[in-house]
Amino acid sequence: MRISNTVSEALAASMPVVALESTIISHGLPYPQNIAAAKEFEQQLIDEGVTPATIGIIDGVPIIGLSQEQLEQIAKEGTAKASVRDLPIIAAKKINGATTVAATAYLAAKAGIRVFATGGLGGVHKGAIETFDESADLTTLATSPVVVVSAGVKSVLDISATLERLETLSIPLVGYKTDIFPSFWLPTSDFTLDWSVNSAKEVADIVASQDELGSKAALLIANPVPTNKAWNQEDHDRVLEKAFAAAKKAGVRGKAVTPFLLSYIVGASEGVSLEVNLELVRNNIFVAGEISKALSGGRK
């Protein structure tokens, strides 16, 4: 893997760095909004005094801190979706790849980056009892020591089963200024959380404790989309039901399931879900930036 000069200098100086994933760019958001968003997310961190490190694979090499030109390559249609198990294959084939939450967390941890902002985590899909469809995000986060800020998981997933699996995998989960697990476009769900924190400093204290205890797990920060930016519940429920039925009808399986649902929902909501998606990522990036500053002793 290769770490960009900007990122390696920031890490060497213990300055705040936040990792960003690239599957959200290639498969989570439609072109051309995806490339504009990728650049905007990085600029937001820079404006907050944090070094962004968008992670992706160029010609088989995992890059920690993609250049603007490399971001554009990743945003192009046809980029392979790369989870952890795909990394060696993509490396040998020397092709480009967009890293999922799992692969990004794995590579960020390897690079020594402690904080990672994304939109939503993968999890246990509805019907998993028959399909066995559970995202590798879950198992990978059990062994990737990185703080992951997300807006929870989408209600296209089985939230209850996802929360149970996080417990089994011993992955700590805290709500950020909330006691309720958020469900991506909505700030709430039917599920309460055991723990919550009210500041970035509290998160930094938990990370310090994880290190002292020798924990190798991630720390999940569930950060709800601001209420005034959230999707309206009725439209949300209606569109999701349609999306779920469409996926079933199309017979999509494996790693195609999540991208199928995401793009279907953007179309069926006439772009509303996309706006909310962008807002919640901005909100996660802000919190991740605060956490990375708290972890590096508040240095800018």
How far CA 265 is from CA of 119, 244, 274, 275, in Å, comes to: 15, 9, 9, 12
Cα 219 to Cα 212: distance, rounded to the nearest angstrom:
14
Cα 187 to Cα 183: distance, rounded to the nearest angstrom:
6
Between 156 and 174, whose beta carbon lies closer to ligand PSU?
156
Residue 52 has φ and ψ, to the nearest 5°, of -80, 145
- Which residue from 116, 89, 119, 121 is spatially nearest to 105, judged by alpha carbons? 116
In angstroms, what is the minimal distance from the CB of 80 to ligand PSU? 12
Active site residue 93: no
Is 107 buried (19+), middle (13-18) or exposed (0-12) by CB count in 10 A? buried
Site residues for Mn ion, 155-214, by CB under 5 A, read none
Please tell me whether residue 100 binds ligand PSU under the rule CB under 6 A. yes
- Which residue among the candidates 21, 42, 48, 279 is catalytic per the annotation? 21
- Which residue from 295, 117, 105 is spatially nearest to 208, judged by alpha carbons? 295
Between 202 and 252, whose beta carbon lies closer to ligand PSU?
252
- Which residue among the candidates 42, 48, 81, 154 is catalytic per the annotation? 154
Please tell me whether residue 184 binds ligand PSU under the rule CB under 6 A. yes
User: Six-digit token pair at 281?
Assistant: 């990522």
Residue nearest to ligand PSU (CB): 28
Work out which of 48, 133, 279, 290 binds Mn ion, going by CB under 5 A: 133
Residue 101 contact partner, candidates Mn ion, ligand PSU, none, CB within 5 to 8 A by sort of partner: ligand PSU
Please tell me whether residue 293 binds ligand PSU under the rule CB under 6 A. no
Active site residue 21: yes
Site residues for ligand PSU, 228-247, by CB under 6 A, read none
Residue 86 contact partner, candidates Mn ion, ligand PSU, none, CB within 5 to 8 A by sort of partner: none
User: Six-digit token pair at 179?
Assistant: 């006691």
DSSP helix, strand, coil percent of the chain (3-state; round to 5): 50, 15, 35
Between 106 and 176, whose beta carbon lies closer to ligand PSU?
106
In angstroms, what is the minimal distance from the CB of 251 to Mn ion? 14
DSSP string of 177-190?
S-SB--BTTBS--S
Residue 114 contact partner, candidates ligand PSU, Mn ion, none, CB within 5 to 8 A by sort of partner: none
Task: Spell out, one character per residue from 112 to 141, where the chain touches ligand PSU: x when CB under 6 A holds, - when not.
Answer: -------xx-x------------xxx----
Residue 180 has φ and ψ, to the nearest 5°, of -115, 135
Which residues are marked as active site? 21, 154
Rule CB under 6 A: which residues touch ligand PSU? 21, 23-24, 28, 100-102, 119-120, 122, 135-137, 154, 184, 255, 258, 262
